[in-house]
């Protein structure tokens, strides 16, 4: 079984990109320790706990010789959040709109692993991960030639941009590696200058504790007071540093109606007020089997309350005063509602 045969099978299974990186001590893997040491992981303690394995896939699977890196495009033809500024719309990061990518991509990878297993000899070992494994996915993707790690820290492919889910199969086969991608950011710094919170503290270095994606998704408790006003209308995640990137300027292809990444109705451009007025049970149903289950309804309500305060949107503030779904009275949510109303009512 050759690398080319694996790539052809990956394309049949719906992967947009497939490349091979050697399981080796790549230079960029070493940045993780310093990044953790600076406290940039915030509350994401799992990154610290698994740092040994994240530094080298051979600590995950000692027989690892190659990492088969895969990318799946999730863009749809909906407008960018930067085009919706001041529109009252609740901004939800596009990766979270549709089906849970962990489920969709894990199934495709299992099919690829099974296909490989049928062809490989005895002793074949493989582990397939999408997002949740102890692997620095972007580093391997760069070495597999899928794209370079941009100054916004995302992997960018020169032909298809960075709206990509990464996943990988660590395997015991010594496959022919691809040529690593070259950095094409040049003198551009649009992502750094456009980040609303200054989270990209240096080119290629992101302080998660300032990133809206971390604050609205990963952070479990109260949002720090001094960061709330910079949240704007970002109710879940943030896409700005990718939207401004020239490599994502090409409009998306018209949507295939069967695409798993199309937004569910509740998250297809709702205003902040409409999102707040949606009953808890409906929000829960809309989140089912989507990536948004990570934050859940409680944190989504916390975020929408912060957005209402941060934007001062009159309809959203009215909705905060009117609607009393059970989760609105949750102490975490109530504190953020109180903050938003205090800010505007005095």
Q: 201 φ, ψ to 5°?
A: -75, -25
- 165, β-bridge pairs: 72
Q: Which stretch binds ligand B12 (CB under 6 A): 1-9, 234-242, 250-258, 287-295?
A: 234-242
201 class by beta-carbon count within 10 Å (0-12 exposed, 13-18 middle, 19+ buried): middle
CB of 147 to ligand SF4, least distance (A): 10
Q: Does 201 participate in binding ligand SF4 (rule CB under 6 A)?
A: no
- Name which of 126 and 238 has its Cβ closer to ligand B12: 238
Q: Does 218 participate in binding ligand B12 (rule CB under 6 A)?
A: yes
Is 26 strand, coil or helix? Answer: coil
Binding mask 125-144 for ligand B12 (x = CB under 6 A): -----xx---xxxxx-----
The rounded Cα 322 to chain-centroid distance in angstroms is 33
CB of 96 to ligand SF4, least distance (A): 13
Of 244, 283, 307, 310, which lies in the binding site for ligand SF4, with binding defined by CB under 6 A? Answer: 244
- Name which of 188 and 328 has its Cβ closer to ligand SF4: 188
Our answer to whether residue 239 is catalytic in this structure is no
Rg (CA), the chain: 21
What are the b/e assignments for 140-156, b being 16+ CB within 10 Å?
bbbbbbbbbbbbbbbbb
H or E, element range at 328: none
- 73, β-bridge pairs: 164
166 interacts with, out of ligand SF4, ligand B12, none, CB within 5 to 8 A per kind: ligand B12
189 interacts with, out of ligand B12, ligand SF4, none, CB within 5 to 8 A per kind: ligand SF4
Of 3, 35, 259, 298, which lies in the binding site for ligand B12, with binding defined by CB under 6 A? Answer: 35
Of 81, 213, 303, 311, which lies in the binding site for ligand B12, with binding defined by CB under 6 A? Answer: 213
150 interacts with, out of ligand SF4, ligand B12, none, CB within 5 to 8 A per kind: ligand SF4
Q: Does 150 participate in binding ligand SF4 (rule CB under 6 A)?
A: yes
Q: Is the dihedral of CA 203, 51, 209, 308 positive or negative?
A: positive
| Range 62-101, binding ligand B12 (CB under 6 A) | 93, 95
Any idea how long the chain is?
346
188 interacts with, out of ligand SF4, ligand B12, none, CB within 5 to 8 A per kind: ligand SF4
Contact predicate 96/292, CB 8 Å: yes
Long-range contacts of 337-344 (CB under 8 A, 24+ apart): 337/305, 339/225, 339/228, 339/305, 339/306, 339/309, 340/305, 340/306, 340/308, 340/309, 340/310, 341/309, 341/317, 343/309, 343/312, 344/309, 344/312, 344/317
Which residue in 56, 131, 183, 282 is the catalytic one?
Answer: 131
Which residue's C-beta sits nearest to ligand SF4? Answer: 150
Q: 71 φ, ψ to 5°?
A: -135, 145
Residue 259 has which token pair? 């695409």
Binding mask 162-191 for ligand SF4 (x = CB under 6 A): -----------------------x--xxxx
Q: Residue numbers of the site for ligand B12 (CB under 6 A)?
A: 28, 31-32, 35, 44, 93, 95, 130-131, 135-139, 149, 152-155, 162, 164-167, 204-206, 208, 211, 213-214, 218, 237-239, 241
| Positions marked catalytic | 131
Site residues (CB under 6 A) for ligand SF4?
150-152, 185, 188-191, 195-197, 199-200, 206, 211-213, 238, 240-241, 244-247
């Amino acid at each position: 079984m050759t690398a080319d045969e694996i790539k052809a099978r990956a394309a049949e299974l719906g992967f947009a990109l497939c490349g091979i990186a050697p399981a080796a001590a790549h230079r960029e893997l070493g940045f993780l320790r310093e990044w953790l040491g600076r406290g940039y992981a915030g509350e994401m303690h799992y990154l610290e706990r698994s740092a040994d394995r994240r530094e080298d896939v051979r600590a995950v699977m000692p027989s690892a010789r190659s990492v088969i890196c895969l990318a799946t495009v999730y863009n749809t033809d909906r407008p960018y959040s930067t085009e919706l500024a001041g529109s009252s719309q609740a901004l939800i990061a596009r990766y979270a709109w549709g089906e849970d990518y962990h489920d969709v991509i894990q199934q495709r990878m299992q099919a690829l692993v099974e296909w490989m297993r049928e062809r490989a000899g005895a002793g074949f070992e493989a582990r397939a991960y999408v997002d949740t494994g102890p692997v620095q996915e972007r580093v391997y993707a760069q070495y597999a030639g899928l794209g370079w790690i941009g100054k916004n820290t995302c992997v960018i492919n020169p032909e298809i941009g960075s709206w990509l889910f990464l996943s990988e199969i660590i395997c015991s086969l010594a496959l022919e590696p691809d040529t690593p991608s070259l950095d094409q950011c040049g003198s551009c710094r649009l992502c750094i200058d456009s980040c609303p919170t200054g989270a990209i503290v240096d080119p290629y270095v992101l302080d998660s504790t300032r990133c809206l994606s971390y604050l609205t998704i990963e952070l479990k408790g109260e949002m720090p007071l001094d960061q709330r006003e910079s949240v704007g209308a970002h109710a879940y995640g943030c896409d700005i540093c990718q939207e401004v990137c020239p490599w994502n300027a090409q409009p998306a292809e018209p949507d295939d109606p069967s695409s798993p990444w199309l937004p569910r109705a509740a998250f297809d451009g709702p205003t902040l007020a409409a999102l707040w007025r949606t009953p808890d049970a409906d929000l829960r149903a809309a989140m089912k089997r989507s990536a948004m289950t990570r934050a859940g309804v409680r944190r989504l309500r916390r975020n929408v309350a912060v957005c209402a305060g941060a934007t001062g949107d009159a309809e959203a503030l009215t909705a905060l005063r009117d609607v009393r779904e059970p989760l609105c009275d949750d102490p975490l949510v109530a504190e953020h509602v109180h903050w938003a109303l205090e800010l505007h009512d005095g």
